């Protein structure tokens, strides 16, 4: 399975082993994947058939043998495991649990018939051609599987180290950004600024912000963070935690678009703030976090129009 968060000591890398069983299919090599269901992490995504954390004193290969038996009910010999890739991954969050190293192993021989030995953690197993993986394959596993498809054995891959967070928000004179239900204002000039700034990028937002916008915005990926396991929205990619959302977002700039709780969880990891200063003081309980000027410096101030006083850029000192 895709490996869920662990609780490491500060500064530690979290090690895990992934095992992909392979066979020859009508359209070329195939791998056995599981559709995750019933877990707190990456539900609804396809992942390698077996995976798990490496236990203290255990080698990556020993962990692979154990996980294959526990999750797929098959027995592997150590000589049947072939190393193909290591993925070191991170995300913009400073939490050490997101600093991980994943070793990928593959096998073409095993004893027993693969089956869901832990049916509470997955919905089903299926063989997929390596050159036609499902769209919702866990992002860092997709990268490793692409290397396997291309014959790039022994490769070192990195995921998430070039991720940069930009928090973008409009706030009133009283710091209010909303009331948790609807937008507190209609500002055409700021809507244009938001569109011009974020088009072509990735948006991460909470479900309340999605509800206040009411739809997916064209020209952008929209990842919605919600605790509701069965929630869907047209055009939205769904994550059930902020680390999941950032894993899905990948490298490059990620625009965090609200609401208040999401801003509070990400401002310590952000590189840039884009704040619209609004000359209104609407009622509301949702506020943008305080901008600590010992940590942030104003680098640009563009004059606004109408009720928009200015568009202000802050960068971390």
pLDDT digits (tens, 9 = 90+) for 22-46: 999 998 999 999 999 988 789 999 9
Residues sharing a CB contact under 8 Å with residue 112, sequence separation 6 or more, in sequence order: 72, 73, 74, 75
Residues 202 and 195: beta-carbon distance below 8 Å: no
- Same-domain pairing of 181 and 143: no
pLDDT > 60? residue 8: no
- Same-domain pairing of 168 and 280: yes
Cβ neighbourhood burial of 167 (10 Å; 0-12, 13-18, 19+): buried
Nearest to 245 by CA among 254, 233, 253: 254
CATH number at residue 92: 3.90.79.10
- Same-domain pairing of 186 and 198: yes
pLDDT digits (tens, 9 = 90+) for 218-247: 999 999 999 998 899 999 999 999 999 999
| Residue 8 lies inside a defined structural domain of this protein | no
| Residue 6 lies inside a defined structural domain of this protein | no
pLDDT at residue number 3: 60
E strands present in 111-190: 122-129, 155-159, 163-171, 176-178
Final residue before a domain boundary, out of 159, 190, 214: 159
Residue 57, domain extent: 14-159
Q: What is the model's pTM? A: 0.89
Final residue before a domain boundary, out of 126, 159, 192: 159
| Local structure of residue 65 (DSSP, 8 states) | H
pLDDT digits (tens, 9 = 90+) for 147-160: 999 999 999 999 99
| Local structure of residue 267 (DSSP, 8 states) | G
pLDDT at residue number 96: 79
């Amino acid at each position: 399975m895709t490996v869920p968060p662990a609780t490491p000591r500060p500064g530690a890398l979290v090690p895990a082993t992934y095992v992909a069983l392979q066979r020859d299919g009508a359209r070329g090599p195939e791998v056995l994947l599981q559709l995750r269901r019933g877990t707190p992490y990456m539900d609804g995504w396809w992942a390698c058939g077996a995976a798990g954390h490496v236990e203290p004193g255990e080698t990556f290969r020993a962990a692979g043998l154990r996980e294959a038996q526990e999750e797929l009910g098959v027995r592997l010999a150590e000589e049947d495991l072939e190393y193909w890739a290591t993925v070191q991954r991170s995300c913009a969050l400073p939490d050490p649990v997101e600093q991980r190293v994943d070793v990928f192993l593959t096998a073409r021989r095993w004893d027993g018939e693969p089956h869901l030995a832990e049916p509470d953690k997955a919905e089903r197993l299926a063989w997929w051609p390596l050159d036609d993986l499902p769209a919702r394959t866990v992002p860092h596993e997709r990268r490793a599987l692409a290397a396997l498809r291309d014959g790039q054995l022994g490769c070192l891959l990195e995921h998430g180290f070039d991720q940069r967070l930009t928090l973008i928000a409009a706030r009133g004179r009283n710091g209010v950004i909303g009331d948790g239900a609807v937008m507190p204002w209609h500002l055409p000039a700021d809507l244009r600024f938001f569109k011009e700034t974020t088009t072509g990028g990735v948006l991460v937002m909470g479900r309340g912000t999605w509800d206040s916008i009411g739809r997916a915005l064209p020209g952008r990926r929209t990842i919605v963070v919600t605790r509701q396991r069965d929630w869907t929205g047209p055009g939205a990619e769904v994550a059930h935690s902020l680390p999941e959302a950032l894993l899905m977002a990948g490298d490059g700039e990620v625009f965090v678009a609200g609401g208040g709780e999401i801003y509070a969880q990400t401002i310590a990891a952000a590189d840039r703030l884009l704040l619209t200063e609004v000359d209104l003081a609407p009622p509301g309980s949702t506020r943008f976090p305080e901008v600590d000027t010992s940590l942030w410096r104003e680098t640009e101030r563009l004059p606004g129009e109408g009720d928009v006083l200015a568009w202000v850029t802050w960068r971390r000192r």
